[in-house]
Chains A and B, each alone.
Chain A
Amino acid sequence: MDKMVLNLGPQHPSTHGVLRLLLELDGEIITSVEPEVGYLHRSLEKMAESKSYIQYLPMVDRVDYLSGFFYSYAFCNAYETLNHIQVPEYANYIRVMFMELNRLASHLLWLGTYLLDLGAISPMFYTFREREDIVTYFEKVTGQRLMYNYFVFGGVRHCDIYLDEALRIVDNIYNKIDEYEDIITENPVFLSRTKDVGIISKQKALDWGLTGPNLRASGILQDYRSIMPIYDDLEFDIILSSEGDCYSRYIVRIYEMRESVYIIKQCIEYLQNINLSNVPLNNFYHKQKQHEGEIYSFVEAPRGLTMCYLKSVGEDTPYRVKWRTGSYYSTQILKDILKGVYLSDVMSIYGSLDVVLPEVDR
């Protein structure tokens, strides 16, 4: 029988951006997959070479519009390490707090859209309701809903961060996560769509370079937060699941949200005990000459390990910036795991990997 080539994307309701999947179908069974990326390439890496550090800083949020703080942090961290800038402790706590809030927002958006991919409409509105709280809070603090530009070299831009409101938001979300679980986790239709679907074995996950929740769902204990110095004083568990199917990726993210709430609460507790109104705000950028050298900084972003390579030759502009993002590797693995599954499972597998296309293309 002839095979049908189906061009899924670049414009498709559930590719979450402009991914093109060239599927070869035998009936409803997929025989080969060719993911094509690059429809959203903004040359963020090349642009860095013609902009000064401070000019490039607002752009790094745009690498991934759903978790801008992480990219901000990775770039700031690279610059600070290169130039030996000490970040005050309170700033580290604020950074962790905002990154975890951002992780919550990102995971909430993933949860809603994933269920929408599976055909359930309600959870999307529930999760967007809570995400709206976080995003409004971000807007209140940083002036922006998605592109924050709040972390600066040597600290954070300002310290008016309305801790009570943050506490209220995370408390609310902690309760709401239970509500999501009530309607999703035990839902037989959801189970039939996700259990034993899109299994990624340990070896396969490592071979294709998966990181983050996707890797932990395959049973590999790897969370870069545990070796990041700014998380040193905070207690949290690393969530692990062993099956490696869509369901365990869901479970890992759900529990990770709870851990994030836990981390944020610790940060808030610390920050409430110090007087934020008269802490020194650092802005080292204008004071000093750029150091030479190269550095590879990393951060555990919601979509896996994010690394920022920064090379400086002592000029005002970076010599080279390179981003390593989690989604790029999650897109690659589609080539392997989509083979032999049914067309209706494509969306449940692809959605469970939490790919965001701007992050893939940069």
Chain B
Amino acid sequence: MNYLLCTLFEIKWLPDIWAVILVSVIGFGVVISLLILTVLFLVLAERKLLGFFTQRKGPNRVGLWGVLQTTADAIKLLCKENIELLSSDKFIFTIAPIMAFASVILLWCLIPYNSEFHLINSSVGVLLYFAIASLPMIFHFLAGYSSNNKYSLIGSYRSLGLTCSYSIVLMLSVMSVILVSGTMDLDKIVLFQSKTWMIFSNVLGFLIFFIATLAKLNRCPFDLSEAESEIVCGYHTEYSGMRFAMFFLGEYAELFVMSMLVVILFFGGYLPPFGMYLANAFMGNCEFCSYLIYFEQTIWLFIKTLIIVFVIIWIRATLPRLTQVSTLNMFWKYIIPISIFNLIMIIMMRALW
């Protein structure tokens, strides 16, 4: 990004302010298209994987190997009527899915995809990430609250209760990462792991963070705010058409971006797992390689992320759903004390070294 910006500044082809805007728009476009493609792939991948886990074939009718299934579904949802109740709060009802999806897009902009392409590069990237990551939940709550349906309401307050527990855990375990790496900049956290990945120095932190991530993503076994066998669909019971698709696709986009964060915090982000880039290994240090490396970094990030996503889908295929009470019990009685303990251990380790 900076490279492109500097080039534009140098050649004086555009006024500086327009160059900045142009570069931002290009970057944003890249992120958006990446997001859409990933989400379309992810929905298909989940359905395929769940199919394989349960000895089915999964979608295989639309396109080769069913690749166009999600696109067809999205187009169908786009064409469907947006039904809304007369008694719902129209404004919030309409704006909640849009805002929930928009805040997920923002999260995608915070991620360092490789050492060069980092749309919003902030020195407090982690904090910014979690500040924005808490937004979708608020809009989920508003969606459930405004749709004036009892099932939605129950889903909403379940999701609120869950938020109170997992956010603390998320922040506590991220704090341990920050303490180990000594920075809040996502880029620097990645670079800190160039020797060893964070997971080796902070295993407990990773486990806690992963569990809290599942809760944050509303994934099994913590999918109680949209438990279809109890409260139909939770907060998005009343939604249809594209508004429902916003929640649905937003959920998958969030799933992927949270997994990317897990990779960035614990598995070395875009760094290659062998300590050496394949491009360098095969082609030596040529000038072309330095461009190729950017692509390789992104590919490494995506491969690691897909492994995390696979584990999350695997968990969904295996476990039943926890109840609200047992989830709160688990978080407040066990996981929060463990994460505080972990934090203290990390602080002591830091003090001793």
Contact = CB atoms under 8 A, between A and B. Distances in A.
A14 B230 contact: yes
A35 B134 CA distance: 39
B322 A122 contact: no
B321 A119 contact: yes
A13 B228 contact: yes
A126 B55 contact: yes
Interface string B191-233: 0000000000000000000000000000011011001111110
B48 interface: no
A7 B151 CA distance: 10
Given A120-B319, A187-B319, A189-B320, A344 B150 contact: no
Interface string A57-70: 00000000000000
Contacts of B50: 121-122
A270 B140 CA distance: 62
A12 B232 contact: yes
Interface string B313-325: 0001111111111
25 contacts: A6-B151, A12-B232, A28-B154, A28-B324, A116-B229, A118-B229, A119-B229, A120-B320, A121-B317, A122-B53, A122-B54, A122-B317, A125-B56, A126-B55, A187-B319, A187-B320, A189-B221, A189-B322, A192-B322, A342-B325, A343-B154, A344-B227, A344-B321, A344-B323, A347-B229
A4 interface: yes
B87 interface: no
A125 B54 contact: yes
A192 B229 contact: no
Contact of A121 (B54, B150, B151, B230): B54
Interface string A310-352: 0000000000000000000000000000000011111100000
B321 A189 contact: yes
Interface in B220-267: 220-221, 223-224, 227-232
B326 interface: yes
A6 B316 contact: no
A344 B324 contact: yes
Contact of B55 (A13, A118, A129, A347): A129
Interface of A: 4, 6-7, 12-14, 28, 115-122, 124-126, 129, 183, 187, 189-190, 192-193, 342-347
Given A121-B316, A125-B55, A14 B229 contact: yes
B230 A347 contact: yes
Contacts of B319: 119-120, 187, 189
A345 B55 contact: no
A24 B206 CA distance: 41
A145 to B, nearest CB: 20
Contacts, number: 81
A129 B326 CA distance: 32
A346 B227 CA distance: 13
Contacts of A122: 50, 53-54, 317-318
A7 B321 CA distance: 22
B154 A118 contact: no
A81 B127 CA distance: 79
Contacts of B323: 192-193, 342, 344-345
Contacts of A120: 318-321
Contacts of B230: 14, 343-344, 346-347
A192 B50 CA distance: 24
A125 B56 CA distance: 8
B232 A119 contact: no
A170 B333 CA distance: 46
Interface string B296-337: 000000000000000000001111111111100000000000
A189 to B, nearest CB: 5
B50 to A, nearest CB: 7
Nearest to B319: A189
A126 B318 CA distance: 12
A6 B230 CA distance: 12
B63 to A, nearest CB: 24
Contacts of A14: 229-230
A122 B317 CA distance: 6
Contacts of A121: 50, 54, 316-317
Contacts of B55: 125-126, 129
A6 to B, nearest CB: 5
What 4 A-B pairs come out closest when comparing CB atoms? Answer: A119-B321, A125-B54, A118-B320, A14-B229
